[in-house]
Amino acid sequence: MRKSAYGFGVLLCSLLLVLVFSGNVNATPAREETKQLVQPSGETFEATLNGNENLNWWTTEDASVIKIGNDNYWYYAKIVDQDLQLTNAKYAIDEKPSDAADLKEVLKLEPGHKLMAKPKDIPTNDQVELLSASEHPTLVLLVEFNDVKIKNKEADWNKRFFGSSGSTLNNYFDEVSDGKLQFKAAGETSGVVNDGVVKVSINKNHPRPEGAYNQNELYTQLFKDAVAASNAKVNYAQFDQNKDGYLSSEELHIVTIVAGGEASYGDEGRVVWGHMTNLYDGQAPRLDGVKIGAYLANGGYTMFGENHGDHMATVGIIAHEMGHDLGLPDLYDYDNSSFAVGVHSLMGGGTWTTANGKDIGEYPAHLDAWSKMVLGFVKPVEVQDNGTYQVANFIANNYSVLKLKTTDESEYFLVENRQFKGFDIGLAEYVASPGIAIWHIDEDQFSNGMNNLDETYKAVDLEEANESRLGYPELDQDPEQYPYVYYDHYFSGNGYAQFTNSSKPNSKRYGGSNSSVSVTVIDSNRDSMAVSVKVPNGEDKSPPEWPTSAKLTSSSITNSTITLNWPSATDPSGIASYIIYKNGSFLKEVSATTKSLKVQGLATNKEYSFKVEAVDKKGYVTGNGPSLKTKTSATTTLRIEGLNRFETAAKISKDTFNVAETVVIARGYDFPDALSGAPLAYQLNAPILLTRTDRLPKETADEIKRLKATKAIILGGENAISPSTESAIKSLGVTIERISGENRYDTSAKIAKRMGGDPAYAVVAYGRNFPDALAIAPYAAKMGYPILLVESDKVPTATSKALATINDTIVVGGDQVITSKVYNNLPSPERISGENRFGTAAAVKAKYYTDSKTTYLANGYGFADALTGSVLAGKQNAPLLLVKTTSIPLETSDAIKNITDFRILGGEAAINKSVENMLFK
């Protein structure tokens, strides 16, 4: 008898909960990202791909539901029965027809499922067993047609599946299975013998099944044609290990990679939608005496498009479909009314995560703890007693998951450790910080076929740590109403620490009764984290004791932080943790070895009371711990930061302007064209926003919309900011003015000309570097002085002409950047300089901001944050000083001695937290 689909060995039917997906195709979730679509007649518009293999469509910005026709035109869709069909009206060309589908009604559709998927078994609590190390034979069929050919080499596909390093299927599953699962190349005689990859040519054109009325039949025939064409090179009988005349997925995983694109990625035309399914017995082809892909014997196949846009399909979609072939269900929300598990699992949106600038899907997220459990990758520790437990991620030698049972065997919690390492580095693009993931499981939702369809009652649900701050769970919201934001869903000792019956989120059962489960995360983020756990009927003992001389003391006080220190308590059973209270309320629980805590987020110049209590290993807590009253510093800091320079610029804009008629747009990765932009932006009451050369970042586009801007001034030529980026800006309803010259000097002169007027002074700065020009930019902006650029040893022609009407100049920078030869040929020059860039910025502050109590700080070796912050500093009549990433230069340190209010531009990658702490000393 064959093993179950989960790989746990033979399980008695009477002990199983049967999970039957009666007619569900297991499909890849759509890559829900906005894309610009183009009609063959030239009309362009933006839309987002929604749905899955069973039902999919594109949603436009005006909430129209559209699909592509065989003529490559995009048509309004209409609802017919429980499916979507094309109307005769072309989107953005014809008038919207009266029978066009309403998006709200589309989200309610329950389409007839096109194929059958195999039944799966969920083991009961005492039947979960660790999978023994195993290799699964896998055959990869590359399928091409008369009109579209396979683009990538067979060797590349062999590496994508069977390679042991990099973004490969084997490397992914080796990591998520803790070394328990590998896929091995199936034996075949095509090309490189036994490399597991067979290319077949079908003497037909691509069937283009997506959107066809007979889609099911086309997919089935495509698979049958592919295996038939491969038969000359593959002896399928060799894989029938139990000699029952059928091939199960465990005996052979069959992957069909179809030439052309992938519909779930957003490709159009000759595409398929990635899925895993199987065939009725009468449909399953018989080759070499065995039936292939039959539902009856837990057979099946996976299929997806060869390419994602212009590149080879990434490992995310492959791993997702292989997850189905191993027996896992989809964990995304089929009706698109919620995010379900979001990016936190491969079987949800984690298919498409990535990192390090790679193509999406290169670094898919790990499987969730439940999926790892049912596949036998981990056997959870069932917690019986209250106490402190270590939860280690896959990097640690003792990889572990905790299982916290309720009074219902089918409903429980799983606790795992998710760090941004290995393939989970892909989470870092979407999740604020790593930490402890707490999963709420109710297997009854699998038994009744609901899975994760009901966002209020999911089979596998991530308890979202930041619900305590937001007041609602982000993953349960309608994606159309609550688009993705940067998630903060994991618990940690230095963040969201508690999960109890009364917390938010809480540990209550779905029916509303108390589960008596609680979790307090003790450690900050690391590969092995301590958690304090309480479970129903856990045993407790008497509380610990403090020494009579115990005192709580403070150190390292800033305007928002205080470090607390305390001695050890004692208890016969041992100390498990310490709980710290602030002003009578719970603050944090830390490990027994921790004797100090840095308390953050405090108000400036305010008195606080603190108290610490000890917890023993049975959960008892003291009530007489040491206490302290202390006060924070009067010095204040405010950091304006984003996840990147584009978001930082947008946040600076948001801090400066509620609305703005005009925005100034500069290139985000080079400075020459932007150096002179601050005075113009200030004059126009406009923020400076940043863009990439070849595309408009979402952060910038969103800020332009928020500002309700109607005009944009682009600084630099088309090599700096491309026509396509200009078009993207125009598409926001903005008129464009481009200021560009033959070089940076000509551009600065044209910016000065655009400012107009009769300025009393002009600022002259070195054009080959940015620090000096940006240090004086807030003052120049405030005064309305143009900034003109020179070479070190000559005045360019464009600058010379611009200076013709100027009587006085302020020269920024020493002889080493602007020589005496240049200086002496300028109109009535006055030099402001220091020994270096930091000294020059300090000299500007000393000259023009003698009484200022506020200053802006920017990294002296990066231009972007200083540039975009110069308008804000100018408006607040504050200087801009420069620091290093991890230190404050002496020149800057001297300049800030009387400053009590600091505004830091950029995140910790630009100006480290250690620099911020130095401001209080």
For the chain, the structural domain boundaries read: 27-107, 125-327, 369-540, 553-631, 638-919
- C-alpha 388/C-alpha 534 separation (Å) is 9
Q: Which amino acid is at 652?
A: I
Residues 6+ apart with CB under 8 A from 602: 559, 560, 561, 562, 608, 632
Asked if residues 822 and 792 have their Cβ atoms less than 8 Å apart, the reply is yes
pLDDT at 754 over 50: yes
For residue 192, give the nearest of 157, 150, 227, 167 by alpha carbon.
157
Average confidence score pLDDT of the chain: 89
- Paired tokens of 552: 């709580």
Which amino acid, one-letter code, is at 715? Answer: L
Q: How far is CA 814 from CA 10, 54, 182, 564, 821, in A?
A: 81, 68, 64, 47, 12
Q: How far apart are CA 104 and CA 82, in angstroms?
A: 14
Task: Provide the token pair at 620.
Answer: 């008892």
The β-bridge relationship of strands 120-122 and 17-19 is: antiparallel
Taken in order 696, 698, 703, 708, the sign of the CA dihedral is: positive
Q: Which pLDDT belongs to residue 10?
A: 22
CA dihedral 501, 502, 506, 512 (to 10 degrees): 70
Task: Tell me the C-alpha distance between 114 and 277, whole Å.
Answer: 10
Range in 255-264, 583-592, 692-701, 865-874 the model is least confident about: 865-874
User: What tens digit of pLDDT does each residue of 298-335 get?
Assistant: 899 999 999 999 999 999 999 999 999 999 999 988 77
Distance CA 661, CA 646 (A): 20
**Whose structure tokens read 């829900």?**
32
Closest by Cα among 285, 301, 291, 306 to 253:
301
Q: What is the pTM of this model?
A: 0.56
- Both tokens of 257, joined, read 């990679």
Residue 123: the pLDDT is: 60
> Which residues, 6 or more positions from 567, have their beta carbon under 8 angstroms from its beta carbon?
546, 547, 549, 550, 551, 595, 626
Q: 553-631 has which CATH code?
A: 2.60.40.10
Tokens of 527: 């590969």
pLDDT of residue 26: 64
Range 318-344 burial, b when 16+ CB lie within 10 A, else e:
bbbbbbbbbbbbbbbbbbbbbbbbbbb
Instruction: Considering only the C-alpha atoms of the chain, give the largest distance between any 2 of them, rounded to a whole number of Å.
Output: 98
pLDDT at 281 over 90: no
CB 865 within 8 A of CB 905: yes
Residues 6+ apart with CB under 8 A from 157: 140, 142, 197, 257
Between 649 and 28, residue with greater pLDDT? 649
Beta bridge mates, 621 = 615
CA-based nearest residue to 451, from 382, 348, 346? 348
Identify the bridge partners of residue 446 per DSSP, sorted by sequence position. none
Percent of the chain with pLDDT over 70: 93
Q: Residue 30's pLDDT is what?
A: 65
φ, ψ dihedrals at 826, nearest 5°: -95, 155
Task: Give the pLDDT of residue 128.
Answer: 60
Question: pLDDT tier at 51 (50, 70, 90 boundaries)?
Answer: confident
| Percent of the chain whose pLDDT exceeds 90 | 71
